[in-house]
Structure 1
Amino acid sequence: MKTSGLPRSLISNPNLYYYASDLYPSFIGLREAAGVMGIAESAAHRLIRAGQFPFPAARAGRSYKVSVRALMHFKDIPDAIVHVDDIENGALHASGGVR
């Protein structure tokens, strides 16, 4: 069986199970987070300044970073446990590829 090239060296669990959030970066910018939340970036800035942003936003220089896991929790997106083969097979199917 040929693999898709997913860097398995980054996966520490010997059973090759991990959380779906491990596929994403740990943090994203406020612009991207606001887009997922369905609000304007300026509104997100106002909420942060007012202390009413629904989860922590870390200052990074002149911008903010938001935890992807916190954003997933806010949007009620389950952080499912998946197997590497399921991800590879799903990506192969989505690309229309054949093994």
Structure 2
Amino acid sequence: MKQILITSLIALSVVLASPVSARAECYADYKAKQDAPLRLHYGVAQISGSCSKASAQSELKPRLAGEGWILLNVLSVFGPDGLEERKDSAGVYFLRF
């Protein structure tokens, strides 16, 4: 009985210690703009934080601002299975930021 308890505790600690390595890839598609002259773009970016619109927004704002873009909105977050269908629409902004 004691051996089962020890084994169970070890297994539980391994499971609890590994969520970061088990995290799935996350991507967001977004719209951004520049002023004077007005330029708009649609893009896709990989997100390293939690896979949520809020996390994507907080990561993308500074990335885009560094090149003079203003994030308008995050449209959605998705896994790697959604990349191919967005690649053509994002064009040069596919995984750029």
* TM-score for the superposition, normalised by structure 1: 0.22
If each structure's strand is expressed as a fraction of its own residues, which one has the higher value?
Answer: 2
Higher relative contact order (CA 8 A, sep 6+): 1
TM-score by length of 2: 0.22
In terms of fraction of residues, the more helix-rich structure is 2
